[in-house]
Structure 1
C-alpha cells in the first residue's frame, strides 16, 4: 500500500495523517515474535516525527481515531460492520483485507456498502469492489492484482485463494456526521451468505 497519506515504500512505513493532541502523545512499536526462543534480540528501528507547537483549535480541529474490527467468520444474513459511532466527525478512510472461505472466486466482494448518517441513508453502493473504485475486477488489467494509487487501491487479489482487499481515502468526499454514523458492507451479492474472514481499519477525524 502506497497511498497519499499511509503506506509502505522502500521498506519504510509512513503515515501523514494529522494526529492532534492536547497535552501529550505517546508512540509505541510492539514486536511479537512468533518464536518464543527469540528472546530479547535487538531490532534496529529508526523513526521521524513531524510536529508543530501550535495548540489544537478545539472548535475547528478534531482528533484522529482508528477503529479496528475483525470478523473471522462473518455471520450469514448480517453485513459486516465498518463503523457504528456517536458524536461529531468525518469518516476519512477504510482499509479492508478479505479472505473468502470458498476457493475459486471472490463473490463475497459483491456486497453493497450502506452508510447511514444522522439517521438518514446517505450512500448505498453497488458492490464492494466499486466502494474501493475497483469496478470490473477479475478481468485482465483491471482489479486483478495488487495496485496502489494515491486515494485507493487493491491490497491483494487471488482467485485460486479467494482473497482480496482494498483501501480508500475519503479526502475530497469525506463523510461528515453531527450525531451518529452507521457504516456497513455486505459479504455476498445477496443475503450476506458468502463465508469469509474480514479484517479492516476505519479512519476517523472527530
Structure 2
C-alpha cells in the first residue's frame, strides 16, 4: 500500500500540522508494516506557478502542444502521477486567513487537470479519477471553528477542500482539525492537540482494519 503524504506548512520544526501528520503516519505504519510512503513537502518542492503557457497548454490537445507547453506541464504531470499512483492520501496544512495556505492552493491548481485527474464524458459530465482512495485532511487552526463557536461561519478551508478534491473523485474525505492553537491559551492548545492525536489514532486503526485484508490477499 502506498500513502501519498503531503505537508504544506511553511514552518519546519515549530509546525503543528507537520508534527501531527508524522504522528498519523507512525500510527498507520505500526499497524501496516508494509506501508510505503511517498512524501511531498510543498515548502521544499513547491508546485509550479500557473503561467499563460501552462494555461494554454491545458486546453491544447496533447499531440498539438509545443515543446514549451510540454515543459510548462511537466511538473504538474509528475504531481498528478504521484497522486494517481497512491492508494491513500494524507494532506496536512495550517489554515491561513480562513482557507488553505498559498502553497497548497498552487498544488491544487497543478493537480486538477482535465484528461488526467478528471475526464469529461460525451454526456457532458465530469468524472474524477481518484475514487476509492482513503483520504485524510489534517488541518491546524489558530482559533476554534467548530460548530457553535463565534468563528464557525468563517471556515472556508473545509468546503474548499471538499469541492476541489470532490471534483477529482475524492467522495468520502475525512477531516481531523486541531483547534484552537495559535491564538489560544496553553491549556486550550494542549487539549486541542490531545483531541487531534486521539482522532488520528482512531483513524489509523480504522484505515488499517479496512486495508489489512486487502494487503493480505495481495501478498
The TM-score bracket by the shorter chain reads under 0.3
Higher strand share: 1
Q: TM-score, normalised by structure 2?
A: 0.25
Which structure exhibits the higher relative contact order, with contacts defined as CA atoms closer than 8 Å and separated by 6 or more residues? 1
Q: Which has the higher helix share?
A: 2
Q: TM-score w.r.t. structure 1 length? A: 0.26
